[in-house]
A and B are shown apart, each in its own frame.
Chain A
C-alpha cells in the first residue's frame, strides 16, 4: 500500500513537472481539485481508479500497471519537445534529432546503481546538459549519447562495479538491458554470450550501439573504454531491420 502511494505520488509529481504544469493546471486537466493532486503527490492517498485512468490517458502512459514500478513509458515522446515551455526539453530536443541516443530503460541498471552511489553527481550531470532528474521517470525517453558516456564516466569516478552477476536479477525482474538483443535467444544465451565476449555492462552497451554510434563517441571519452570498443560485431544491432520488409 505504501509502495503504491510512493509510486503513484512520484509519477504524478514527475510527469507534471516534465510537462511543465502547475498543480492547478494538472488538476484542471484531470477535472479534480488542486488539493487532490497535492495529496496524491504527497503520498497521503492513492488516486481513485477513474482519476488514475484519466492520468494514464492525459499523459499517454503505455502501461496502466506502471503504478507497480514508479516509472512509465509515454506514447508520444516528441510531444514533450513541442511543449510550450522553455526548459530541458528545449535543450535536448535538437540534440536528440541530430545525435544518437539510448533510452532510460536501456540505462536502467546503470542508473539504479548511480542513484544509490552518486545521486548528486547525476543531478549535476543532467543539469549541465539542460535536464532534470525527472526525465529518468520516462523509460522510453532518449538520453543523448554524450550524456550516456558522462554517466559511464561518473560510474568510473564512483568506482561502481557493474558485472552480470549484479545486473541479472534486475534484468529478470524488469527486462532492462538486453531488450536490444531479443532475437539472440534466452537469458542464459545472453549471459553466456557476454561472458565470452566483453563480460560486463560496458560490453553490453557497446554491442547495443550501432557502428556509427560507437564511431561518433568523442576521442576523449573513447579512451577509458578503449578495450570495449574493439572488435565491434557489425552484424549485430541492426540485423533485424534488414530482415523485415513490411
Chain B
C-alpha cells in the first residue's frame, strides 16, 4: 500500500515539475525526513497527507489508489482550474448549472469545506463551478451522488438535493420560461416536450401519459452519451433520486406544491428505461 503511495507522490512531483526539497516543504517535512520515508517506502504522517491533498486537490484515499490523475493535480497546482480530469472530459453533455443545486444543497447542510473535500474525490476545483455554462460529463454527477451515499446521505436527502433545482433555476432563462405555464399539467408537458434538453441532455425524455391528476415520464439514456463514454449505461440509483427531486419541484414554477414522484422502472434496476409517475401534491414546500 505504501509503495502505491510513494509512486503516486513521485508522479505528482514529476507532473508538477517540483524538486524533492520543494515537495518536502509543501508536505511540511524536512527534506531529509522526506528522503528517509521515501527510501524505505514508509507511511507518511496524516498532516503531510492532508497538505498533499490540499495542495494538489486530490482525495486522501486516492493517494494510494491507482485512480489518481496526476495531470489534473498538476493543473490545479499550477492554477489551471479550467482543465478537467480525463474521466470527466469525454462526452460532455451536462452544463454545470444542472449540478449547482447539488453543490448548493450540500454546502447548506454541511458547509463549504465539506463540499471541497467531496470535490477532491473528483479532482475538480470548486472554481470550475462558478460558470454555469461550462460543460462536464454525466459521470461527475454519478460519482458525486455515489460519494454522498457512501458518506451516509439517504435517498430522501438525495431527493431533496434534486428538489433544490427549482431554487437554483427559478431566476434563469429556463426558469422564466417554465414560469409562464400556470397549471400543473402544462408545466410538466413543457418540461418534457419543450425544455428537457435545457436541463438534461444525457437522457431522452418522453411523455408516456399526460392526465390531469397523473403524468408518466420516461427517461431513456441517449446512445450518443453511452458511445462517448464507452459504457452500456451510466444510470445509477443515486442520480435517479436526485432526478426525481428535480421532477418533483417542476410544479413549483407554476406556483404549485412540489409533486409526488414514484419510480416505476429503472435502467439501473435492469429495465430499458427509467419511468416515473408524477402526481400533484397538496403539501406546500415553498410559500
Contacts and interface: CB of A to CB of B under 8 A. Distances in A.
B159 A240 contact: yes
B260 interface: yes
A105 B124 CA distance: 28
A182 B156 CA distance: 11
A68 interface: yes
B46 A48 contact: yes
Interface in A57-80: 62-65, 67-68, 73, 75
Interface stretch (A109-117, A118-126, A167-175, A215-223): A167-175
Contact of A235 (B60, B108, B261, B284): B284
B286 A185 contact: yes
Interface string B58-91: 0011011000000000000000000000000000
A235 B283 contact: yes
A45 to B, nearest CB: 7
Contacts of B210: none
A29 to B, nearest CB: 18
Contact of B111 (A53, A172, A242, A246): A172
B167 A242 contact: no
A179 B114 CA distance: 14
Interface in B23-80: 28, 43-47, 49-50, 60-61, 63-64
B228 interface: no
A4 B107 contact: no
Given A48-B43, A49-B60, A182 B283 contact: no
Given A8-B46, A186-B108, A246-B241, A239 B283 contact: yes
Nearest to A173: B111
A240 B113 CA distance: 26
Contacts of B262: 245-246
Interface string B89-110: 0000000000000001101111
Interface string A33-49: 00000000000011111
Interface in B140-186: 150-152, 155-157, 159-161, 163-164, 167
Interface string B184-219: 000000000000000000000000000000000000
B136 interface: no
B46 A46 contact: yes
B281 interface: yes
Nearest to B1: A50
A187 interface: yes
A53 B151 CA distance: 15
A50 B159 CA distance: 35
A213 B110 CA distance: 25
B61 A64 contact: yes
A112 B71 CA distance: 42
Given A47-B46, A185-B167, A242-B260, A175 B152 contact: no
B259 interface: yes
Given A172-B111, A184-B286, A244-B245, 10 more contacts: A4-B47, A47-B46, A48-B45, A68-B50, A73-B151, A173-B112, A182-B105, A235-B283, A240-B156, A245-B262
Interface of B: 1-2, 5, 28, 43-47, 49-50, 60-61, 63-64, 104-105, 107-114, 117, 150-152, 155-157, 159-161, 163-164, 167, 241, 244-245, 248, 258-263, 281, 283-286
